[in-house]
């Protein structure tokens, strides 16, 4: 059950990110949404332990790409213990931060207060697959 919730959350996050990037004819990552089709590249940092949940999340990314074949999901496994500082450094420098990060929920207020999170208000919902 927990794995299904996490996978569904990831798919939703990818969909929202792509919708936000592809909302006009061209997005910040070179994506476009002309004719309603998503395209572009999304970099996603996963903080799962290698050899366990990462397999599930890699599969979710692959399934998302099957639904949206013009989308490339760049999956990067970042060790949990390094992810918070690595994300902060990348976001602060303006280079190398992912579009999506699987993070500890406790990091969210800190990232938000520093201005490192994009608001999703008014972002169109994307059709996402359901995972059990």
Using the Cα atoms of residue 19, residue 3, residue 82 and residue 61 in order, give the sign of their dihedral. Answer: negative
**Strands laid side by side in the 71-77 sheet:** 71-77, 40-46, 100-101
- pLDDT tens, position by position, for the chain (132 residues)? 444 444 445 555 555 454 444 433 334 445 544 556 889 999 999 999 899 899 999 999 999 999 999 999 999 999 999 999 999 999 999 999 999 999 999 999 999 999 999 888 887 765 555 555
Flag whether the pTM goes above 0.85: no
**Which CATH number is correct for 2-113, 3.40.190.10, 3.30.70.270, 3.90.1570.10, 3.40.190.80?**
3.40.190.10
For residue 72, which phi and psi values (nearest 5 degrees)?
-110, 125
For residue 4 the two structure tokens come to: 């299904």
Distance CA 14, CA 104 (A): 17
Cβ atoms of 14 and 99 closer than 8 Å: no
- Residue 83 exposure: Cα atoms within 13 Å on the Cβ side: 23
């Amino acid at each position: 059950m927990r794995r299904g919730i996490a996978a569904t959350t990831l798919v939703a996050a990818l969909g929202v990110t792509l919708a936000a990037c592809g909302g006009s004819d061209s997005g910040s990552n070179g994506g476009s949404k002309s004719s309603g089709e998503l395209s572009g590249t999304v970099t996603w940092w996963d903080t799962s332990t290698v050899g366990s949940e990462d397999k599930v999340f890699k599969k979710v990314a692959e399934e998302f790409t099957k639904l949206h074949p013009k989308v490339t999901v760049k999956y990067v496994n970042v060790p949990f213990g390094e992810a918070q500082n690595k994300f902060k450094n990348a976001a602060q420098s303006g280079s190398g931060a992912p579009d999506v990060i699987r993070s500890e929920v406790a990091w969210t207020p800190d990232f938000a207060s520093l201005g490192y999170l994009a608001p999703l208000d008014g972002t169109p919902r994307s059709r996402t697959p359901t995972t059990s």
